[in-house]
Chain A
Amino acid sequence: MIGQIGNRGRGLGKTIDWKLVIIYMTLVLIGWANIYSSVQATDSTGLFDFANRSGKQFVWIAAALVLAIVILFVVSPRIYEGLAVPIYVIAIGLLLAVIVLGVEVKGSRSWFALGPIRFQPAEVSKISTSLMLAAFMSQLGYKISRFKDFVITALIILVPMGIIVMQSETGSALVYVGFIFMLYREGLSGWLIFMVGMAILLFILTLTCSNFVALLVLAGVSSFCIMLYSGRGKWWVFFGIPLIVLMAFLPRLLPEDFFLTPTHILLVVMFILIMVAAYVAFRERHMFTHLSLIAVLGGIMLIFSTAYLFNNVLQDHQRKRIEVLLGMKEDPSGVGYNVNQSKIAIGSGGLWGKGYMEGTQTTFGFVPEQSTDFIFCTIGEEWGFIGSSFVILLYVLLIWRIIRSAERSREAFTRIYGYCVACCIFMHLFINVGMTLGLMPVIGIPLPLVSYGGSSLWAFTVLIFIFIALDRNERKYF
């Protein structure tokens, strides 16, 4: 199990993916430098002073490197597959335990406090879920299209996700949605991603426009897909489009005190068409149409339950953030404050930035959480378009390289695990940077490797270095 250092296979220099390690180190150091810059306004102490965040981050980085070395040189990469199940179970246990034993931080109960050190089991759970998925899905004979396999796979993802939602850490839970890309790679129908995308679109349309508009879009998109896939594309052009246009003008055409609302009429029309389509599909034994129709019914249900979901399931602060993002409410000094100040910070950076430690916006504390969730603001302001694009490209490179290595791998376990890592990093990157740019609602998740904080840094270090170790293990022999 232990002590694989030696001369078996090819040497260190050739087996370790040094490019990945270099990208990793670059991001960690960029993070550390910017944490120092963002805290120096209030704590004008040294880079290594343990009393401030840059000093602490140094300690976390040092610890992360120790972890990396242990993973690379001490632990055998072969154990992960076997330990995936116990690790997964322990992680679930921790997730549940933290609800009872954890300390409350900003309204969510997701941290264990051990003296001065706080630790978030949700971070561990990313690793354990990735390992578990890789272990389960790499079994011989696994087929994602088989119902039982699919359900178990979904449960592996949904159980930790659900518990994290219960901890009121919706942001962290959202990351798990990213696993859908890995599932896609492993053979999941692309329609599933399409349906998830549609669901989000319908949700937003219902909130920002109306039920009617959302229904109309659903009808248009679904009828197009169904007609195209059943070989009636021309019909759709000649009958579908005029009908949709007619429906779109329904609110204007109807007299004001007509006894049916446009929404009702549209629903009736859609219902009739669905019945017709179902009959035709039954006669032609067209499976796609049947599934599509079920999806359409699901879509209609989603539209009419959106208001309930939005007002009753989401928490107040989450609702406000979504409202501000979608422009439903102007609130530049309340919830919108962070985003507004964050955009000012990034926007004022210009092409080259204001220079290291010269950012006025971030150092005066206009941007809250500037060393953790909003660290990208410091980068944007002080390093400008050049610097922030560089950081985004580094992430793209990191994810790209992980995917390419995963693809090259001969073992399904390594490949699936690699995709899981890539998905996690991607989700964090897109949600976090999207949030600072005002593209996403304010969801408090860190920028991997860059944001201040030990828990997150260690989790991503372990996540990435397990992959490097797995990858190295293969390179040794092939």
Chain B
Amino acid sequence: MTLDRENKLLIGLCAMAAILIAKLFSIQILDDKYKQSAENNTKVYTTIYPTRGIIHDRNGKILVGNKVAYDLLATPSEITEFDTLALAHVLEVEPQFIIDKMAEFKKNKRRIGFQSVVMMKKLPPEVYMKFAEVSYQFPGFRGQARNLREYPFNAGGNLLGYVSEVNENYLKNHADEYKAGDYAGMTGIEAAREKELRGIKGYEVWLRNSKNKIESRFKEGEEDKEAIPGDNITTTIDAELQNYGQMLMNNKVGSLVAIEPSTGEILALISSPGIDVDKLADFGHHYTEISTDPYKPMYNRAVQAPYPPGSVFKLVNGLIGLQEGVFTPNTTYPCSMGFHFGKSGKLRCHAHKSPVNFEESIMMSCNAYYCYVLKDILENKKYENIEESLNKWREYVMSFGFGQKLGSDFPSEQAGFIPDAAYYNKYYKKGGWKALTVISLSIGQAEIGCTPLHLANLCATIANRGHYFIPHIIKDSENVTIDPKYKEKHYTMVDTTHFPKVIGGMYRAVNSGYGSGGTASIAAVEGLDICGKTGTAQNPHGDDHSVFICFAPKDNPKIAVAAFIENGGFGASYAAPIASLLTEKYLTGEICGNERKALEKRMMEANLLHKVRIKK
């Protein structure tokens, strides 16, 4: 054979074919990795979802449990002819729904292939059982159990938060931990404690054959992984008290917070309006309704809304004054319907006897008294100038937890605001302000912003005679240990010896009887020794906010409450009755006497929503 061009080309042809066959040989015979890759491609992982941890209240009652619902899966490639009407009947849907679904499957036939698709979500067990009995008539349809949240008590909707299927955004932020179709806590305790509650997913490994049918367990389940259920969580919430508080706050905008002073545990925390637990269970359906509600039920006012505290704040100023020695409990100041300063300046007060001493000033909530106190604190010769004394005052205030995040286990907690010298220097220019300029601070008005949780914490601090525990909502339980910071006492900068005087005033404010000048007589309950302080927070947008803090009993207090009712008027009009009813309910388990029962009814039925200005 000569090497002419024909033969050269034939040799080239054979050489090229040899290259192809050599490559085939290399990947088909020599290299094993492709076989493994192909095997991996045929493995099917079916996820086993763990049951989510249960959330208990402080007494072991279940706040959030689990219930089973069923998803109806359809495998279009296995569906044969069936009785549409019968299926619609057992599933309790319109026959048209089934017809539409079948049409949809047919349209997406290529894409679906042999896979199963979810046809209906969250069938209740009753419906599913009915279907299961006759499911043999409907090949290609099967149920898949799924855990849903269940709420035995209508208590603490926004505290608990909701669980929903993770969306794209969530997946982006938690790429390694979640997959599409997973559920996660989105708000409240469900979100804050997601790591404990969610548990660990397991999986089963199956092999599919070339027809995409699942054939067998991979290595008899050797590579399977069991799901580990989520840890249970115990909250400090008292479910009954929370529920009762919600009833009291019905149709009012505001917050009601109860703390156990000796531990800092939050017994009840109501932000009104809240979210009903039935809506939580199926949050997706109610999302639009809830998110467009003008009263913003998703907004947890108790920890997020900074308000001026009003007269309640006088307690803080009084304690600071005593500590700084600018007055003594026996010091009396006059009050002529207010505090007069400058040429025509006046901070008004209401009618009460004059002059008053410290205890009486708390009992009667005298404004003028605290103007003198604050003026003396700020003009104290101990300090070089007002800037220094104001900053000192601020330091005291902040030692009560104000003006900062308390560090509770609410991720959304707000810090509030306590002004410092720099703030006023900026506002009035340096040297352009003096004690009288900022005199409203004395009665808890002006720039001060604090959340209802701050006020409840103040109340607990006074009840404890000078210290507090950071308020928190999760307790230690079997698998969950809370941060040790919640077990530390936090002392204020005011000596504990000054607190009994304040408590004396708070006791008299409640228990002096009508006509005595005590501002909170309406809160009195015989035998409970409630100590309280009213507040009326001025509100430029409408009616004043009604504020009240109280604790009981006077000695060895069991509960400290802060109530903040938006547009509720005087402290005594709504906040005081509501807080005292909550206290009574907690301490005695019921409301005693016809008078108190009538008050309870009146509070529950009161509707203040029309007074609330809705921001557009």
B38, A351: Cβ atoms under 8 Å?
Answer: no
Chain B residues with Cβ below 8 Å from A393 are 17
Tell me whether A437 and B110 are in contact (CB under 8 A).
no
The residue that A343 contacts in the complex, of B13, B20, B34, with Cβ under 8 A, is B34
Q: In the complex, how many angstroms separate the beta carbon of A271 from the nearest chain B beta carbon?
A: 35
Q: Is the CB of A396 within 8 A of B17?
A: yes
Which B residues are in CB contact (< 8 Å) with A358?
209-210
A344 touches B38 (CB 8 A): yes
B23→A184 contact, CB < 8 A: no
Cα–Cα distance between A399 and B28 once the two chains are bound (Å)? 25
Cβ-closest chain A residue relative to B77: A44
Inter-chain contacts of B41 with A (CB < 8 A): 344, 360-361, 364, 366
Contact with A along B2-31 (1 / 0, CB 8 A): 000110011011101101110111011101
Of chain B, the residue at the smallest CB distance from A356 is: B210
Beyond A41-B113, A42-B110, whether A360 also contacts B34 by CB under 8 A is no
Q: Taking the complex as formed, is B212 at the interface, i.e. its CB lies under 8 A from any CB of chain A?
A: yes
CB pair A184–B38 under 8 Å, yes or no, is: no
Q: B404 in the interface, Cβ–Cβ < 8 Å?
A: no
Q: Chain A 162-183 against B: per-residue CB contact (8 Å), 1 yes, 0 no?
A: 0000000000000000000100
Contact-residue size bin, chain B (C-beta under 8 Å from the other chain): 35 or more
CB distance B13 to A426 under 8 Å? Answer: yes
Q: Please indicate the chain B residues that have their CB under 8 angstroms from the CB of A343 in the complex.
A: 27, 34
Whether a CB of chain B sits under 8 angstroms from the CB of A155 is no
- Which residues from chain B contact A72 at a C-beta distance below 8 Å? none
Known: A181-B9, A433-B20. A344 touches B34 (CB 8 A): yes
Contact, CB under 8 Å: B110 / A346: no
Knowing A389-B21, A389-B24, A426-B16 are in contact, say whether A41-B211 is a contact too (CB < 8 A). Answer: yes
Contact B28 A346 (CB under 8 A): yes
Q: How near does chain B come to A399, taking the closest CB pair, in angstroms?
A: 6
> Which residues in B have their C-beta under 8 angstroms from that of A385?
24-25, 28-29
Question: Is B285 an interface residue when CB atoms closer than 8 A count as contact?
Answer: no
Residue A288 interfacial (CB < 8 Å): no
The complex places the Cα of A441 from the Cα of B29 at a distance, in Å, of 23
A439 within 8 Å of B (CB atoms): yes
B164 at the interface (CB under 8 A from A): no
B109 to chain A, nearest CB (A): 8
Shortest C-beta distance, B182 to chain A (Å), equals 22
| Given A343-B34, A347-B33, A430-B20, A384:B28 Cβ within 8 A | yes
Any chain A CB within 8 A of the CB of B208?
yes
Q: Which residues of A contact B212 (CB under 8 A)?
A: 41, 363-364
| Residues of B contacting A384 in the complex (Cβ-Cβ under 8 angstroms) | 28
Q: By the criterion CB–CB under 8 Å, are A41 and B210 in contact?
A: yes
Determine the chain A residues whose CB is within 8 A of the CB of B17 once the complex forms.
392-393, 395-396
Task: Return the chain A residue nearest B38 by Cβ.
Answer: A348
B147 at the interface (CB under 8 A from A): no
The answer to whether A17 has its CB under 8 Å from any CB of chain B is: no
Report yes or no: A351 in contact with B5, Cβ–Cβ below 8 A: no
Taking a contact as CB atoms under 8 Å apart, the answer to whether A360 and B38 are in contact is: yes
Kindly state whether residue A285 has any CB partner on chain B within 8 Å: no
Are A349 and B28 touching (Cβ within 8 A)? yes
- CB-CB under 8 A from A44, the residues of chain B are 77, 211
Give the nearest-CB partner of B207 in chain A.
Answer: A360
* Nearest CB of chain B from residue A11's CB, rounded to whole Å: 29
Given contacts A42-B113, A185-B5, contact A347 B21 (CB under 8 A): no
* Interface check B350, CB cutoff 8 A: no
In-complex Cβ contact of B42 among A360, A395, A439 (8 A): A360
A399-B20 Cα distance, complex, nearest whole Å: 15
Contact status A396-B209, CB under 8 Å: no
Q: Is the CB of A347 within 8 A of B38?
A: yes
**Is B35's beta carbon under 8 Å from chain A?**
yes
Q: How far is the CA of A381 from the CA of B35 in the complex (A)?
A: 10
- For B23, give the chain A residue with the smallest CB separation: A437
Partner of A359, one of B24, B27, B208, B210: B210
Nearest opposing residue in chain B for A347, CB measure: B34
Separation of A360 and B212 alpha carbons in the complex (Å): 8
Instruction: Answer whether residue B37 sits at the interface, using C-beta atoms and an 8 A cutoff.
Output: yes
B20 touches A364 (CB 8 A): no
- CB contact list, A319-371 vs B, under 8 A: 343-351, 354, 357-361, 363-366
Would A396 and B13 count as touching, CB distance under 8 A? yes
Contact of A361 with B20 at beta-carbon distance under 8 Å, contacts A41-B210, A385-B29, A403-B10 already known: no
Q: From the candidates B38, B113, B208, B211, name the one contacting A365 in the complex (CB within 8 A).
A: B113
Residue of A at shortest CB range from B35? Answer: A348
A138 at the interface (CB under 8 A from B): no
Residues from chain B with a CB closer than 8 A to the CB of A348 are 34-35, 37-39
Contact with A along B29-65 (1 / 0, CB 8 A): 1010111011101100000000000000000000000
Distance (whole angstroms) from the CB of A37 to the closest CB of chain B: 9
Known: A41-B210, A41-B212, A357-B210. A185 touches B35 (CB 8 A): no
Q: Give Cα distance in the complex from A363 to B77, angstroms.
A: 15
Which of A365, A388, A399 is within 8 Å of B24, CB to CB?
A388
Q: Which residue of A lies closest to B113 (CB)?
A: A42
Chain A residue contacts of B13, Cβ below 8 A? 396, 399-400, 403, 426
A199 to B518, CA, bound (A): 102
Q: How far is the CA of A360 from the CA of B27 in the complex (A)?
A: 17
**Distance in Å: Cβ of A269 to nearest Cβ of chain B:** 35
State the Cβ distance, A47 to closest chain B Cβ, in Å: 16
Q: How far is the CB of B294 from chain A (nearest CB, A)?
A: 47
Complex Cα distance, B77 from A395, in Å, reads 38
Bound Cα distance A47, B110 (Å)? 17
A474 at the interface (CB under 8 A from B): no
Question: Across the interface, do B16 and A430 meet the contact criterion of CB distance under 8 Å?
Answer: yes
Interface contact A407-B210, CB-CB below 8 Å: no
Contact A364–B6 (Cβ < 8 Å)? no
- Tell me whether A346 and B211 are in contact (CB under 8 A): no
A184→B14 contact, CB < 8 A: no
Known A347-B27, A439-B23; judge A363-B210 contact (CB<8 A).
yes
Q: Is the CB of B42 within 8 A of A347?
A: no
- Among B58-81, those with CB < 8 Å from A are 77
Asked if A448 lies at the interface with its beta carbon under 8 angstroms from chain B, I say no
> Shortest CB–CB separation between residue A54 and chain B, in angstroms?
15
For A350, what are the chain B residues with a Cβ–Cβ distance below 8 Å? 28-29, 35
Let me know if A380 is at the binding interface, CB within 8 A. yes
Q: Say how far A351's CB is from chain B's closest CB, in angstroms.
A: 6
**11 intermolecular pairs with C-beta atoms under 8 Å apart:** A41-B212, A42-B113, A181-B12, A184-B9, A185-B5, A348-B35, A364-B212, A388-B28, A392-B21, A399-B13, A403-B6
Give the interface of A toward B (CB within 8 A): 40-42, 44, 181, 184-185, 343-351, 354, 357-361, 363-366, 380-381, 384-385, 388-389, 392-393, 395-396, 399-400, 403, 407, 426, 430, 433-434, 437-439
